[in-house]
């Protein structure tokens, strides 16, 4: 660049530097500051030379985040609960690549297709990052001609949304899916999926919750008998879907003013979608003068009755509600649909300014944490001969659960451990590195989780501090006297008690104390 270019750039850097300083002094949100710092660094990079040498934009891609060790410890705990449940129900697991051929995803997500991440075409195939785990599962079944499987799949999926990350929503996020594929007798597998949601939400201890259940066929039948024209079923369905966020009056307004239904039709829908109940409601609606005339609705209601009889046997009816306002978005559902909602709202943390700035509301409503349903047609879309494989499944929305667990951990006085180390091998005296390494090695060989500081002569205090910071419960202390006596001084970090343990008994003693 010319000298004039350079001068201009230096001026821009100065101005941008002032913007950043101003934001910092105003205690603006971390996000906002990061954004302006990034601009500053980019300007510096353009300037080149020494000033721009390290001018990386040091951040992760928009809508993504790193997991630090504490978050990983929580994530591991949540996954263990979920995987245990899936295994208790006899599921196997599979994995699929993070990207699929673009055409595999085409035509499966309706309007949401615009949120799919595409890869650059580099003279090969057109590829896209997976948007969910259901479509890859259906592709897998068709490709391998599998007609019966009960599988779970835990993996990241990708959506170019504009997420509110403070509510635990990201562009890269985990899904935990459990699905049962196969031609079986009605509602047994469907009931097991609901049982699984019930078990997982109970075990995660997230407070009270409800599971709403409905059926695509009941929705369609209801629209038909209310007088909605066939071609408007889908769009009215997506308006009804807003009932969890909007008042009925506004939903009706949208139906009448935007979607062109008559007031009458709207009112009739309104009567139905206000209904909630259990098996009794299904029975009552089977007697409903209008609804009982509709074949689709009758099939759905008969299955709903059967479903509730199984849910009774599975002892989960205290949380499950047959709710005619539930109308999930995805096109591929053909039968039962459901959604689990936590009752509590999570209060925004007020402890640190950064978090305060991150939360845009006083209380963050966590809302839906699991959902699913029956999709009997999806696998057939991939089969060259269109052979159908009936499927029913559930997806646990794990990121929101992580957010809640993190907030709980933050609020709790108990420290989250990020390692499982049982003992630190330490010394109070100098020149004992070799002895420390020898003992550590012996412990590793016996399966003990052991650490040693990577210093020749660390201070005892810094060794004890390491234990306190990371929660290591025991210290095995070596000194000249202990070596002579063939013992190790075993110290309890919390109680500070010390006891001499013969080397031969050390492994057993550590195991006993760290059960």
What is the footprint of a second copy within residues 181-220 (CB under 8 A)? 182, 184-185, 188-189, 191-192, 195, 199
CA distances, 466 to each of 413, 439, 450, 462 (Å): 19, 18, 13, 6
Q: CB nearer to a second copy: give 290 or 319.
A: 319
Per-residue mark of binding to a second copy, 493-512 (x: CB under 8 A): --------------------
Structure tokens at 121: 């075409």
Phi-psi region of 107 (alpha: psi -120 to 50; beta: other; left: phi over 0): left
177 binds a second copy (CB under 8 A): no
Q: Min. distance of Cβ 104 from a second copy in angstroms? A: 7
State which of positions 445-474 bind a second copy (CB under 8 A). Answer: 445, 447-452, 454-456
Q: Single out the segment in contact with a second copy by CB under 8 A; choices: 12-20, 399-407, 435-443, 481-489.
A: 435-443
How far is residue 114's CA from residue 32's CA, in Å, rounded to a whole number?
26
Q: Min. distance of Cβ 491 from a second copy in angstroms? A: 17
Q: Min. distance of Cβ 162 from a second copy in angstroms? A: 11
Structure tokens at 122: 């580099």
How far is residue 72's CA from residue 266's CA, in Å, rounded to a whole number?
48
- Which secondary-structure segment (H or E) carries 370? strand 368-374
Q: How many residues make contact with a second copy (CB under 8 A)?
A: 99
Q: Min. distance of Cβ 125 from a second copy in angstroms? A: 6
57 binds a second copy (CB under 8 A): yes
Per residue, the 3-state secondary structure of 143-174, as one string, reads HCCCCCEEEEEEEEEECCCCCCHHHCCCCEEE
Structure tokens at 219: 């929705």
Q: CB nearer to a second copy: give 73 or 349.
A: 73
State which of positions 69-128 bind a second copy (CB under 8 A). Answer: 69, 72-73, 75-76, 87-101, 103-104, 117-122, 124-125, 127
Q: What is the largest CA-CA distance in the chain?
A: 95
420 binds a second copy (CB under 8 A): yes
Per-residue mark of binding to a second copy, 354-393 (x: CB under 8 A): ---------------------------xxxxxx-------
Phi-psi region of 182 (alpha: psi -120 to 50; beta: other; left: phi over 0): left
Q: Single out the segment in contact with a second copy by CB under 8 A; choices: 177-185, 318-326, 336-344, 475-483.
A: 177-185
Other CB atoms within a 10 A radius of the CB of residue 224 amount to 19
């Amino acid at each position: 660049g010319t000298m004039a270019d350079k001068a201009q750039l230096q001026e821009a850097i100065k101005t941008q530097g002032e913007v950043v300083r101003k934001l910092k002094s105003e205690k603006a949100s971390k996000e906002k500051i990061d954004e302006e710092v990034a601009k500053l660094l980019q300007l510096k990079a353009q300037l080149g030379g020494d000033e721009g040498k390290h001018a990386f934009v040091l951040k992760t891609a928009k809508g993504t985040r790193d997991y630090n060790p504490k978050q990983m410890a929580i994530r591991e705990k949540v996954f263990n609960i979920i995987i245990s449940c899936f295994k208790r129900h006899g599921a196997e697991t599979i994995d699929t690549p993070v990207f699929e051929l673009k055409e595999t995803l085409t035509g499966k997500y309706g309007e949401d297709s615009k949120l799919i991440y595409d890869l650059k075409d580099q003279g090969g195939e057109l590829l896209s990052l997976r948007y969910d785990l259901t479509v890859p599962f259906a592709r897998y079944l068709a490709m391998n001609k599998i007609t019966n499987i009960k599988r779970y799949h835990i993996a990241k999926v990708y959506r170019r949304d504009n997420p509110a990350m403070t509510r635990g929503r990201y562009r890269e996020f985990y899904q935990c899916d459990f699905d049962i594929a196969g031609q079986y007798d009605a509602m047994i597998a469907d009931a097991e999926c609901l049982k699984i949601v019930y078990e997982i939400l109970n075990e995660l201890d997230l407070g009270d919750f409800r599971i709403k259940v409905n059926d695509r066929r009941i929705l369609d039948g209801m629209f038909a008998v209310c007088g909605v024209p066939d071609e408007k079923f889908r769009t009215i369905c997506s308006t009804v879907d807003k009932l969890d966020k909007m008042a009925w009056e506004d939903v009706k307004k949208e139906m009448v003013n935007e979607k062109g239904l008559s007031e009458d039709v709207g009112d009739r829908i309104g009567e139905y979608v206000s209904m909630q109940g259990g098996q009794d409601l299904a029975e009552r609606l089977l007697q409903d003068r209008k609804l009982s005339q509709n074949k689709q609705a009758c099939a759905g209601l008969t299955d709903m009755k059967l479903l509730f009889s199984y849910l009774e046997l599975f002892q989960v009816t205290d949380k499950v509600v047959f709710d005619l306002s539930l109308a999930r978005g995805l096109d591929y559902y053909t039968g039962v649909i459901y959604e689990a909602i936590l009752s509590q709202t999570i209060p925004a943390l007020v402890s640190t300014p950064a978090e305060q700035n991150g939360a845009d509301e006083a209380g963050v409503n966590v809302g839906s944490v699991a959902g699913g349903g029956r999709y009997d047609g999806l696998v057939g879309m991939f089969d060259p001969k269109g052979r159908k494989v009936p499927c029913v499944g559930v997806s646990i929305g794990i990121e929101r659960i992580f957010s809640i667990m993190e907030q709980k951990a933050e609020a709790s006085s108990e420290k989250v451990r990020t390692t499982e180390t049982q003992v630190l091998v330490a010394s109070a005296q100098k020149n004992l590195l070799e002895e420390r390494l020898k003992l550590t090695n012996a412990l590793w060989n016996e399966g003990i989780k052991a650490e040693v500081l990577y210093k020749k002569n660390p201070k005892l205090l810094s060794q004890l501090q390491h234990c306190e910071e990371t929660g290591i419960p025991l210290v095995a202390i070596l000194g000249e006297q202990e070596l002579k006596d063939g013992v190790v001084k075993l110290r309890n970090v919390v109680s500070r008690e010390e006891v001499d343990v013969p080397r031969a008994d050390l492994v057993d003693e550590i195991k006993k104390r760290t059960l």
